[in-house]
């Protein structure tokens, strides 16, 4: 899983560098597919429940599952890039939110709160803690900063399949849920909105947008529970988290 996660990390690192005004989301997707396949893996998302691309590319008020297209990024946008790779039967999955050029202070804060909420959740990923301790860590931090948690989509267990039990919502009651066990691997992915938590799925059957048209942010890592603390399997080779 670490090897699969490293491919994801390196792909997202490269995509981050490519993001600039005028680049299309299709160009990002094409690069990601070549990068993943050249590493001997395959893009987990492509063909998953008929999804047509290798990454999800969601812009501004698109929360998750945006389908890459000829849409050109514009100065001031934010784009959420979600990437999965399967190598030797094991999956890595991570996501980043990236500014396109200079963005507003409001969007900068939205990204920072979402990123920080992931770290808060990660700190709770130790054996013996409860699953919803992880969930509540996201919720508490996000809501105390005036943002909302997307409730219709969540994180998940991950291993030989991209989506395994348990589901990991970004809200919950602390001290409840199953106990975390050494060896569990979870994809933790806060999805945070600037306005209402309510979302809608577009007619393409995939793209999720905020109902009020306000911006949304998304970060994700694949993280293992170990007796020595959480281990991020989608970190770069030097251990940096690249968020």
Cβ neighbours around 11 below 10 Å, total:
28
The mean pLDDT of 198-209, rounded to a whole number, is 98
The mean pLDDT of 111-117, rounded to a whole number, is 98
| pLDDT over 90 at 6, yes or no | yes
pLDDT confidence of residue 243: 82
Q: What's the residue count for the chain?
A: 243
pLDDT confidence of residue 140: 98
Residue 222 neighbours by CB under 8 Å, 6+ apart: 1, 5, 8, 91, 92, 93, 94, 158, 185, 186, 187, 232, 233, 234
pLDDT confidence of residue 2: 98
Structure confidence by residue, pLDDT tens digits, 26-78:
999 999 999 999 999 999 999 999 999 999 999 999 999 999 999 999 999 99
Whether pTM exceeds 0.95: yes
pLDDT band, very low/low/confident/very high, at 80 (cuts 50, 70, 90): very high
Burial of 174 (0-12, 13-18, 19+ CB in 10 A): middle
Structure confidence by residue, pLDDT tens digits, 143-154:
999 999 999 999
| pLDDT over 90 at 242, yes or no | no
Report in angstroms the alpha-carbon separations of 171 from 143, 155, 216.
Answer: 10, 11, 16
Percentage with pLDDT > 90 across the chain? 99
Structure confidence by residue, pLDDT tens digits, 155-181:
999 999 999 999 999 999 999 999 999
DSSP labels, 181-239:
-TT-EEEE--EEESS-S-EEE-TTSS-EEETT---EEE-BEEEE--TT--EETTS-TTS
Structure confidence by residue, pLDDT tens digits, 84-102:
999 999 999 999 999 999 9
């Amino acid at each position: 899983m670490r090897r699969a996660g490293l491919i994801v990390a390196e792909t997202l690192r490269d995509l981050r560098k490519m993001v600039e005004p005028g680049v299309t989301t299709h160009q990002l997707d094409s690069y990601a597919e070549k990068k993943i396949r050249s590493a001997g893996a395959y893009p987990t998302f492509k063909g998953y429940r008929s999804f047509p691309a290798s990454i999800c590319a969601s812009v501004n008020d698109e929360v998750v599952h945006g389908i890459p297209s000829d849409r050109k990024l514009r100065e001031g946008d934010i784009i959420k890039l979600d990437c999965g790779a399967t190598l030797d039967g094991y999956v890595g999955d991570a996501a980043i939110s990236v500014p396109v050029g200079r963005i507003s202070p409001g969007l900068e804060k939205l990204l920072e709160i979402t990123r920080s909420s992931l770290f808060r959740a990660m700190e709770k990923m130790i054996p013996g803690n409860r699953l919803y301790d992880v969930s509540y860590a996201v919720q508490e931090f996000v809501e105390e900063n005036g943002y909302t948690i997307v409730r219709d989509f969540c994180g998940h267990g991950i291993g030989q399949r991209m989506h395994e039990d348990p589901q990991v919502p970004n809200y919950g009651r602390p001290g409840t849920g199953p106990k975390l066990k050494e060896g569990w691997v979870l994809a933790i992915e806060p999805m945070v909105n600037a306005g209402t938590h309510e979302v809608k799925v577009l007619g393409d059957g995939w793209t999720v947008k905020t109902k009020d048209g306000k911006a949304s942010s998304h970060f994700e890592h694949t993280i293992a529970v170990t007796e020595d603390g959480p281990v991020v399997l989608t970190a770069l080779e030097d251990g940096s988290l690249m968020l």
